[in-house]
Structure 1
Amino acid sequence: MEPGAAPDVSQARAVATNVRFATLTFERDVAAPPATLWEAWTAPAARTVWSAPTPSVTVEYLEAGTRVGGREVSLCKVAGEPDIRCDIGWLDLRAPSRSVNSEVISREGETLSAALVTAAIEGNGEHSRIQVTVQLSSLAEDMEEGYRQGFGAGLDNLSAVAGRTMILQRVIAAPRHLVWKAWMNEETLPQWWGPDGFSCKTKRIDLRQGGEWVFDMIGPDGTVFPNHHRYGEVRVEDRMSYELLWGENGPKHADAWAVFEDLGGTTKVTLGMVFSTAAEYHTAKGFGAVELGLQTLGKLERFVFSR
């Protein structure tokens, strides 16, 4: 519009008329505690596992900052079709019960829709319920049916993923930079990793994004457990993610992540794992993986204090 020109009222009315509004609600019962469901809902590494609505869709995360004021940018890719871009802004995060985010969907630079997404989680014990409300504004085309299908399938996936997710947490009375340094250091990580009585023998290690750690964990009785970690995202003093393989280049048995939260001089460490199958999750839980994982975090704390 030229300076001083009158606004085109008819064009503005036409744009407003073409906008379609809808409020959609989705609910799922989940066989997981609220705190575990919350981590599966919000953690970028877990969202990567469940967010694709169908096997033909690949979700690639370009940016993920799960904090109030943080952004999440992802691309939904389908062979032979233009990528769909999703820009999320986190507006409210109240673990483990409530999140609110804005969401803008675009394709080839054209905005298709904008939405406000509110999630409420409630429950106790080993069962939870999540309710997601989407206040949708469709712009370039009617997106309501796509949202119904996408969120419906995504929450079905989330329910399954949360049911095979294991969350371990420990608050360590040391600054975040020291805890991070003990974990993401090629010399120190093998010194403390593993439950009480276990040791590590490294074959090769590179803890950068795209790197790997190939090693054997050796039990107190001498039993050797081959391991292979492949590292994905690494954000210094914030979080990192990795895949766990059964031995070098073996089958994947879990997607894992670690988050380091500064609590004003102490550090809350959250270690999460989404097992590849429910059977693997129940097997791991049955042989004491929770207790053994907490022992590992305990060894991390003792190592930090010993430095």
Structure 2
Amino acid sequence: MSKFSTLTFERQVPAPVEVLWQAWTAPAARAIWAAPTPSVTVEFLEADTRPGGREISLCKVKDQPDIRCECGWLELEPARRSVNYELVSSEGVTQSSALVTADLERAEEGSRIVVTVQLSATAEGIAAGYRQGFDAGLGNLDGVARRTMILQRRIKAPGRLVWDAWMNPETLPKWWGPDGYSCRTSRIELRTGGEWVFDMIGPDGTVFPNHHLYHEVRPQDRIRYSLLWGENGPKHADAWASFDEVDGATQVTLGMVFSTEAEFQTAKGFGAEALGLQTLGKLARFIGAE
């Protein structure tokens, strides 16, 4: 017999609501905060964040059967509201189903998220597990949102043109970087599992070694990659770029989750947001769609 319950979770986060929304919905960010504890590994098999899309993940704990979670997005109102169903199963047996509603709003110091879970479970203890998991997950979400930087620009060009300029090894180095910066490439292979090893050279000749590792490339949809300080150097951010066509234009979102909040604050302090927006401006100019 199924047991029904309604669970409510609330969290105030010292980050703009637009950043919290990206941390809540972007697959690259969700992959960072989804595991409730360090003993749990979450493997994402599928992620399509749009109404009608779904996300499938496996929660893995040593010496225990994998837990399969299917999330289907029903409603997405950017920076306001998401609604999804969630089915949890193990070894082919459904353990619970839920309707999850997240409401986001601006708060005095950042933003607030309220998550309501309408849960139907087949066994004792699942509601308690949900409560523990969501409490931990929202704590992780808070930590991710605190060190996430979101840059957006609407480019007046079809998504195909924007994607081709970004994912072409001949053109990407020509526009990447802030105004006055250039790129010197050592290796570049723009595909899932590929990499870009390059130096970014500042207006005064200062050389900044970079290494991008590409973990996911979904044509004309999104890219997920890591940013390293130089070839095989320490990682300083997990990043993604997404491309959404809106009324004949392309909304480009560039997100970065820095490895620590201190690195985020350092980047913010030297003007990384303005420099990143300059980079997207150079992309727009490169394709003649400023």
Shorter-chain TM range is over 0.9
Tell me the secondary structure at the aligned position of residue 305 of structure 1: coil
Aligned-residue offset at 1:125: 6.9
The answer to whether structure 1 residue 93 and structure 2 residue 76 are counterparts is yes
Aligned match of 1:201: 184
1:108 aligns with 2:83: no
**Are the equivalent residues in 2 in contact too, given 1:33–1:125 (CA < 8 A)?**
no
**Which residue number corresponds to residue 250 of structure 1?**
233
Q: 2:11 maps to what in 1?
A: 28
Q: Report Cα offsets for 1:59-78 as digits up to 9, x if no partner.
A: 11111010000010011111
8 Å CA contact retained: 2:160, 2:220: yes
Q: Are residues 1:219 and 2:202 paired?
A: yes
The one-letter code of the counterpart of 1:151 is: F
Q: Does 1:189 align with 2:172?
A: yes
**Following superposition of structure 1 onto structure 2, how do residues 275-294 of structure 1 map, counting pairs within 5 Å?**
275-294=258-277
Equivalent position of 2:213 in the other structure:
230
Q: Which one-letter code corresponds to 1:105 in the other structure?
A: V
In the alignment, which of 96, 117, 120 is matched to residue 100 of structure 2? 117
Is the 2:3–2:123 contact (alpha carbons within 8 Å) kept by the matching residues of 1? no
Alignment length (residue pairs): 289
> TM-score, with normalisation over the residues of structure 2?
0.98
Partner of residue 152, structure 2 = 169
Aligned match of 2:249: 266
Cα deviation for residue 264 of structure 1 reads: 2.6
Aligned position for 2:278:
295
| AA matched with 1:221 | D
Q: Distance in 2 between matches of 1:241 and 1:278?
A: 20
Q: Which sections of structure 2, spanning at least 5 residues, go unmatched?
A: none
Q: How far off its partner does 1:38 sit? A: 0.3
CA contact (8 A) 1:110 1:140 kept: no
Check the 8 A contact 1:119/1:131 in 2, yes or no.
yes
8 Å contact kept, 1:169–1:270: yes
Is the contact made by 1:111 and 1:140 (CA closer than 8 Å) also made in structure 2? no
C-alpha distance in structure 2 between counterparts of 1:219 and 1:80, whole Å = 51
Aligned: 1:72 with 2:55: yes
Displacement of 1:234 in angstroms is 1.0
Q: Alignment partner of 2:238: what SS?
A: strand
- Name the counterpart of 1:48: 31
Moved over 2 A (4+): none
Letter aligned with residue 35 of structure 1? E
Q: Using structure 1 for the length normalisation, give the TM-score.
A: 0.92
Letter in 1 for 2:203: P
Is contact 2:86–2:99 with CA below 8 Å preserved after alignment? yes
CA-based RMSD:
1.1
Match of 1:6 in 2: none
- CA deviation digits over 1:55-109, x for unaligned, max 9? 1111111110100000100111112211111001100000111000000001111
Q: Is it true that 1:155 corresponds to 2:138 in the alignment?
A: yes
**Hey, what does 1:12 align to over in structure 2?**
none
What SS is found at the alignment partner of 1:96? coil
